[in-house]
Amino acid sequence: MRRLILKRLGLMVVMLLGLAVITFTIANVAPGDPARLAAGPDASQEMVEQVRAERGFDKPVPVRFMIYLGQLARGDLGTSVYTGREVSRDIAQFLPATVELVLFAITIAIVFGIPLGVLAAVWQNKATDHGIRLLAVSGAALPMFWLGLMLQWYLALELDLFPLGGRLGVFDDVPPKITGMITVDALLNGDPGTALTAMWHMVLPALALSLPALAAIIRVNRAEMLEVLGRDYVTNARAQGIGPFRIIAVYSLKNAILPTLAMIGLRFGWMLGGTVLVEGVFDFPGVGLYAAKAAVSSDFEPIMAVTLILGAAFMFTNLLIDLAYALLDPRVRNQV
């Protein structure tokens, strides 16, 4: 087990280095002049050159890459050309919001996805199955931002059930920062009202964000359950007179859940990326919105930092899933 963890962590470092090379290269061959951007559109050429020298944009690309790597090693993610702030500070501010949103969204996907997958398998080719499969297909096909707009229009504007956007109402007090996740911070500060308000603000963006994952979980879980339900030991269990609920919940689901777990891990990474689309629609001040803004501004250091952090989160989640696999399945554990 320890070997597995060390091996995977080592691999993660190599992969992150590769990611840094790729993002740095893309950022530096892309058109756009960050010095001009920083100096402002009216700035004289002399002012632009002053910024270029100050920020090191005048150095050759390999030199800049080495400087960048050195910065990364010290935990310095650079400075945003657009805001002039340290990227690490921006990320510390925006990332908790995104993590909170993604956790909320993945919870929705799991809580609804697994039971729906089971139901579809149990009632295969019945109306319930067809209905659930339609939901799964729609979830995979509908663009997240479009779904977000629809939810916003109908549930927020027309029915006035949810707020249009943001993390809290404009007059709500933000709880003192502990984790940066408002629901958690509010609860830690003994303020369940604010936690509920924050959760209320997350419902629509989380729904939009969760639907593709929900669809994937349903599909995988349904397929696995169908396979498991057809196995001999299940038939044997039935023959022994074990009740259907126990067969499904204990005998089948435990074996069918592993591939679903892997899918959840993968989807967690996709969702982090998906926030770029959803956060814009709901003005949810997370790292996705930050990255989108940086991308249209050719503000490279935030883009590179967000890519690296999301990449690391993606890899780390996969590591956790693999560990969960090993814990749940003795065969995997023994292979390691």
Partner 1 sequence: MKLRMLTSAMALAATLVSPVQAAEKRDGEFWMVIGGRQAVSHIDPGQSYDYSIRMMTQALYDGLVKYSGNPPEVEPWLATDWTTSEDGLTWTFNLAESATFHNGDPVTAEAVVYSYQRVLEMNEGVAWMLSDILKPENIKATGEHTVEFTLDRPYAPFLSFLPWWFVVNPAQVEPNVVDGDFGKAWLSENDAGSGPYELERFDQGTAYWLRRDDDYWKGFPYEAEDMGGIIYRLIQESSSQRAALMSGEADLVTDLTPEEFEVVGARPDIEVSSTPALTTFGLKMNTQGEYMSDVNLRKAVAHAFDYETFVQVYNGNAKLQTSPFADAIRGKVEIDMPRKDIEKAKEYLGKTEWPEGGITLEYVYVQGLEQQRQMGLSLLNSLKELNIELEMVPLTWPNMVARASSIEESPDLLAIFATPVSTDPDAVAIQYHPSSHGKYYGSHFLEDEELKAMIEEARRISDWEERAPIYAKIQQRIADLQPEIFGMLRQRQFAYRTYVQGYVDSPIRMTGEVDLYPLYIQP
Binding positions for partner 1, rule: CB under 8 A: 30-34, 36-48, 50-51, 82-85, 90, 93-94, 146, 149, 152-153, 156-158, 160, 163-167, 170-171, 174, 280-283, 285, 289-290, 293, 295-298
Minimal distance in Å, beta carbon 272 to partner 1?
18
CB of 103 to partner 1, least distance (A): 20
| CB 80 to partner 1: min, Å | 8
Distance spanning both ends of the chain, measured CA to CA: 7
Query: CA 267 from chain center: how many Å?
Result: 7
Supply the minimum distance, in Å, between the C-beta of residue 164 and partner 1.
Answer: 5
- Which residues make Cβ contacts (< 8 Å) with residue 273, sequence separation at least 6? 288, 310
CB 10 within 8 A of CB 317: no
- The residue (of 34 and 265) whose beta carbon lies closer to partner 1 is 34
Residue indicated by tokens 């109306």: 127
- Closer to partner 1 by Cβ: residue 297 or 318: 297
Q: Output 50 or 128, the one with its CB closest to partner 1.
A: 50
Q: Which residues contact 302 (CB under 8 A, 6 or more apart)?
A: 78, 80, 82, 87, 90, 91, 290, 291, 294
* Closest distance to partner 1 from the beta carbon of 102 (Å): 18
Q: Give the position of tokens 């050159």.
A: 49
User: Is the C-alpha dihedral spanning 295, 300, 301, 303 positive or negative?
Assistant: positive
By beta-carbon proximity to partner 1, the closer residue of 171 and 245 is 171
The smaller minimum CB distance to partner 1, of residues 20 and 35, is found at 35
Bridge partner list, 216 = none
